[in-house]
Amino acid sequence: MPNTFGHFFRVTTFGESHAGAVGVVVDGCPPRLRLSEADIQTDLDRRRPGQSRIVSQRQEPDTVEILSGVFEGRTLGTPIAMIVRNRDARPESYSEIKTKFRPSHADFTYFAKFGVRNWQGGGRASARETIGRVAAGAIARKWLREKFGIQVVAYVKQVQKIIAQVDPGRVTAQAVESNIIHCPSTATARRMIALVEKMRREGDSVGGVVECVARGAPAGLGDPVFDKLEADFAKALLSLPASKGFEIGSGFAGILLRGSQHNDLFEKRGGKIRTRTNHSGGIQGGISNGEDIVLRVAFKPTATVMQKQRTVDTRGRSVILNPKGRHDPCVLPRAVPMVEAMVLLVLADHALRQKAVR
């Protein structure tokens, strides 16, 4: 079932970009968790379009409705269904791509797989599908915080060649939300915003990296051999629209170190076994070791650009595409809550799996 993610904490999303609504069903959430629509709306507001001048100007309130699974303010342990209605859909803006394939988009591949596609905004391939993920992630966030004290914070680390030099262990959610690019370094954020605005004026797009840290995850999460924690993170995060790369801890930079330099030496600190460094990114042997989990996701430049491009139509004829519609010149600001959501969903799933094991 390609629209379902997780084993114990299971999430199924549904809906298309310009259909009546999008939504999610969460199965496996523990009972008696206090939950309201306000708990979920906070994260959806961070994801929604139209919130600043550097994101898509589609004006959607993205108001969530809980349809089931919650009674008198607490979860029942039964499936939680949530829906967000599409209020500002403009399918007519996409009429040109009814028969034309946008370069590097999912238009051709969906058509190749199914023989049919929803050309209105990209259908399921649209980032609007992630509303369900973020809503489910908000539930996972609350349960993980109350059960384990886990905190997950993502932020824009890099836009093209502009890199923020920040310490993942010290980044706060307040600093991330202090600017429209969602970079915790104010000076770097200004440069990033200027670049994205330039791309918008030129009808082009730009990509970059979102970094995420999970603090407070207990040691022991993750399963050998094929369900290693970082393997599930990789699948979760590479399932996000426009994601093209994943790394954890030292990642690719770790190849520049020797083993004697890269090893995270153990010590006893505060009555617990800890590591002096964290090149492993909080995971060793596919299992969390109690340190901060630090990972990064690379996102490509948005595929749809406001420039004429040569492509082919559904009959293979060479044509010129002149795109319309409302698109992000950079997906990174709105990708931040999406990355957090997928990290939270993986942690919630593995926390429940560990509970079953022990």
Q: Which tens digits make up the pLDDT trace of 216-252?
A: 999 999 999 999 999 999 999 999 999 999 999 999 9
Q: Which tens digits make up the pLDDT trace of 58-112?
A: 777 899 999 999 999 999 999 999 999 988 766 666 778 889 999 999 999 999 9
pLDDT on residue 89? 66
- Are the beta carbons of 182 and 47 closer than 8 angstroms? no
Lowest mean pLDDT among 19-28, 225-234, 252-261, 326-335: 326-335
Cβ atoms < 10 Å from Cβ of 256: 9
Q: Which tens digits make up the pLDDT trace of 166-206?
A: 999 999 999 999 999 999 999 999 999 999 999 999 999 99
pLDDT on residue 60? 79
> Would the pLDDT of 22 be above 80?
yes
Residue type, 318: S
- Are the beta carbons of 261 and 273 closer than 8 angstroms? no
According to CATH, the superfamily of the domain at 4-357 is Chorismate synthase AroC (3.60.150.10)
pLDDT on residue 17? 83
Q: Which tens digits make up the pLDDT trace of 280-327?
A: 999 999 999 999 999 999 999 998 888 999 999 999 999 999 877 667
Split at pLDDT 50, 70, 90, the class of 267 is very high
pLDDT on residue 1? 59
3-state secondary structure the chain: CCCEECCCCEEEEEECCCCCEEEEEEECCCCCCECCHHHHHHHHHHHCCCCCCCCCCCCCCCCEEECCCEECCEECCCCEEEEEECCCCCHHHHHHHHCECCCCCCHHHHHHHHCCCCCCCCHHHCHHHHHHHHHHHHHHHHHHHHHHCCEEEEEEEEECCEECCCCCCCCCHHHHCCCCCCCCCHHHHHHHHHHHHHHHHCCCCCCEEEEEEEECCCCCCCCCCCCCHHHHHHHHHHCCCCEEEEEECCHHHHHHCCHHHHCCCEEEECCEEEECCCCCCCEECCEECCCCEEEEEEECCCCCCCCCEEEEECCCCEEEECCCCCCCCCCHHHHHHHHHHHHHHHHHHHHHHHHHHC
Split at pLDDT 50, 70, 90, the class of 57 is confident
CA atoms of 268 and 270, how far apart (whole Å) = 7
Chain-centre distance of CA 199, in angstroms? 22
> Would the pLDDT of 134 be above 80?
yes
Question: For 7-21, what is the mean pLDDT?
Answer: 92
- Domain coordinates of the chain in residue numbers? 4-357
Question: For 10-38, what is the mean pLDDT?
Answer: 95
pLDDT on residue 347? 98
